[in-house]
Structure formats: structure tokens, C-alpha cells
Amino acid sequence: MKNLLIIILVIPFLSFGQVSENEKNEIETYAQKMCTCFNNMLKDLHPKAIEAINILATDGQQKMEQYITKEMQEASDVDKQAIMESFQKMQEPAFGAKIENCDTSSIQNKALKIKLDNPKTESHKYLMTYLSSEDSCKVLKAFYDMGTNQN
């Protein structure tokens, strides 16, 4: 009887702080919608600018600068201009507003959204892990990391 009481008291604590399967599914659905929206935005940017962001996220500032220098030396004048225009677009407030729109339009569950916006929650940690693991979300994760100075 004593062991049964201990088990009954311990079980709720084992699941406390974990993300339920239902919540994981909701987070993954949200992430996929957001990544699809974000990737549609990227279609307006030069592929070399997007690659530079990926390099920044994975290899750091110095490697990105080396990549940009190399690409700018080898690119045609038209490509150079398109790459620079892409970097300018990414810095404009309108670009940030579009990202924010992708974020808010991708989720219906406001309680989950509050959890996802709090870096201390298990839900947020699961989202970050998911974004890192999905190829279609890696550029979005790079932007997130840059925005939160985690690169």
C-alpha cells in the first residue's frame, strides 16, 4: 500500500514539464505552417544572400564574411546588385513585419503561443529543436537566432 501511494504521488511529477504528444503535434503543425510562409517570403531574395544567412547560423560571422567576399568577387554586376538588394530587404521593417505575420497567422491556440514565446518553457525548447531538425526550417531558425543573438 505504501509503495502504491508513492507511485501515485510520483507519476504527476514525472510528466510535469514535459511536452505532451498532442502539444508536440500542434507545435510541429505550427512550425511547418510558419516555415512554409517564411520560405515563400524568401523567394524574393537572391539565393546567395540566403546561403550567407545559413553560413552565419552554422559557421559564424567570419565564415559568412569570407563567403560574401568570395561571392561578390566572382558575381556579375547584376548579381552583385541583387545580392545587396536582398540584404537591404532583410533589414527593412517590412521584412520583419512579414515574418511576424507568418508567426501570428500560423497558430490558433493562443495559450500554446504564449508558451512558445517564452524561452524557458519546454514547449519553446521543443520548437527550437524541431526547427533545427527540419531542413525546410533551417533558414527561419537562423533568422530567429540572429534576432535573439544566439548565433
Residues 75-88 have pLDDT tens digits of: 999 999 999 999 99
Residues 23-72 have pLDDT tens digits of: 999 999 999 999 999 999 999 899 999 999 888 877 888 999 999 999 99
Q: Which residue has the higher pLDDT, 115 or 58?
A: 115
| CB 48 within 8 Å of CB 79 | yes
Q: Kindly state the average pLDDT of the residues 96-104.
A: 88
Residue type, 116: L
| CB 142 within 8 Å of CB 60 | no
What percent of the chain is modeled with pLDDT above 70?
Answer: 87
130: number of Cβ within 10 Å: 18
Nearest alpha-carbon partner for 99 in 55, 67, 53: 53
Task: Name 71's Cβ contacts closer than 8 Å, sequence gap at least 6.
Answer: 48, 52, 83
Q: What is the pTM of this model?
A: 0.76
Residue type, 2: K
Distance CA 30, CA 18 (A): 18
Q: Kindly state the average pLDDT of the residues 4-33.
A: 69
Q: Give SS3 for 121.
A: coil
